[in-house]
Amino acid sequence: MAKKTYVLDTSVYLTDADAVSAFKNNDIVIPLKVLEEVDKHKSRQDGVGNQARKFIRALDALREKGSLQKGVRIGKGKGLIRVSSCKDEHFPSGFEVDNPDNQIIGVALTENKEQPEKKVIVVSRDINMRVKCDALGLKAEGYQASQVLSDSSQLYSGFGTCLVDDQEIDKFYENKDVFIENAKFFPNQFIMMVSNANEKKTALGRHTSPGSPLRHLTNGKGREWVIKARNKEQSFALDLLLDENIPVVTLVGRAGSGKTLAAVSAGLEQVLGNGKKVYKKLIVSRPVQPMGKDLGYLPGSLEEKMRPWLAPIRDNLEYLLGDKFQMEEYMTNGTIEIEALTYIRGRSISDTYIIIDEAQNLSKHELKTIITRVGERTKIVLTGDIEQIDNVYIDETSNGLTYAIEKFKHHEIAGHVTLTKGERSKTATLAARIL
């Protein structure tokens, strides 16, 4: 089979810096414009910036082996990688030369003219760029970063049903041991037992591990800070959140489903509650994913810049605490910390209840960095809505939250719940469903 030449767009490298190794024994051409665009992102303190810096370091390592202008072997069994620029004579009439995308396409056109024996393919995550290539007779492909699922509808929900004898449900309500011997259930999966004699007779429990009896759900009754569950999914979430033996909890749900409020309320209970205080402090954070201007363009101090991003978290805390000044006092003495995700990375955090809100905007690399910061006696809760991703370099199947759910579902230290019903208001529920 003839070798191909791949021209990769900037969006590919900012999604996955390891993309240069993903094309087997084929050659890769990096347009000079791509290096300029990657350079603009290298100072960003997020996943995109991390990928930009990683890509630059990889090129620097290859540069030491040879000339990037002439071509350097990527690795054993891999093709050559080189940097090239476009030639104006290969630009189609009317093509805007100064446009960055057009300059990248121009490199592909140059390669196509100068190496007609090779098949030239442009790889980009930009749909319009692929359309342009097709219009110019160039083959174009999308680039999908490594996915843990082929489709988001396959995402583990944390819930299942099981037909049982009528007597088993009676035994469960009498607090007797009931065992579910079914290999398809994962550790800490919630199960609705349905009577095979009467489908309206049911019971809810949690499967912990093979050979262990079905566990009754923990409720928030008598707990000072815990919200009252309004549906079964919120009951499942609170059961996991209040279980100190499960250090990793993931919650997915649409806007208004109560995932963040439940996580914060359970955190306050275990940090400030009158009962057993499991953790010394509560840390709540979220990724700073700009929609428009980045933080550097906002006026004021770092705290003032962060306020808009962390406002939803403060809203939940104020709602639960009922007193803004009390919240400020807890924040002053360090019992509650609300900060940008950037400042959590690099720390080693022990005896802490951590909530990472909007975790769907994290890449798998960022999430790995964060979870590996977790120290002894620390619980980490990841919440988010995989249908609302603001990070253009990831999607429903390649984001960090989806990865965490699928990779941890086999392990007893983790639990997951998908919240399906909106409880914020009728307006919010309808909007989440129809818009």
Helix (H, G, I), strand (E, B), or coil: what is residue 136?
Answer: coil
Other beta carbons within 10 Å of 243: 18
Q: Which bin fits 297, alpha (ψ -120 to 50), beta or left (φ > 0)?
A: alpha
Give me the pLDDT at residue 316, please.
86
All structural domains of the chain: 4-141 (3.40.50.1010), 220-434 (3.40.50.300)
* Lateral strand order in the sheet of 202-207: 159-164, 189-195, 202-207
Question: CA torsion sign, 272 to 278 to 281 to 282?
Answer: negative
Q: What is the mean pLDDT of each run of 10 residues along the chain (435 residues)?
A: 88 89 91 94 84 93 92 91 83 80 91 89 91 92 76 91 93 94 87 93 94 89 85 96 96 91 94 86 80 50 65 84 83 86 74 94 86 90 92 84 95 95 70 69
Structure letter (DSSP) for residue 254:
-
Other beta carbons within 10 Å of 145: 20
pTM over 0.85: no
Give me the pLDDT at residue 292, please.
38
Q: How far is CA 227 from the centre of its chain?
A: 26
Other beta carbons within 10 Å of 77: 8
- Beta-bridged to residue 206, according to DSSP, are 190, 215
| Token pair for 250 | 């993931």
Structure letter (DSSP) for residue 163:
E
Other beta carbons within 10 Å of 432: 19
Give me the pLDDT at residue 391, please.
80
Give me the pLDDT at residue 298, please.
55
Contact between residue 205 and residue 215 where contact means Cβ atoms under 8 Å apart: yes
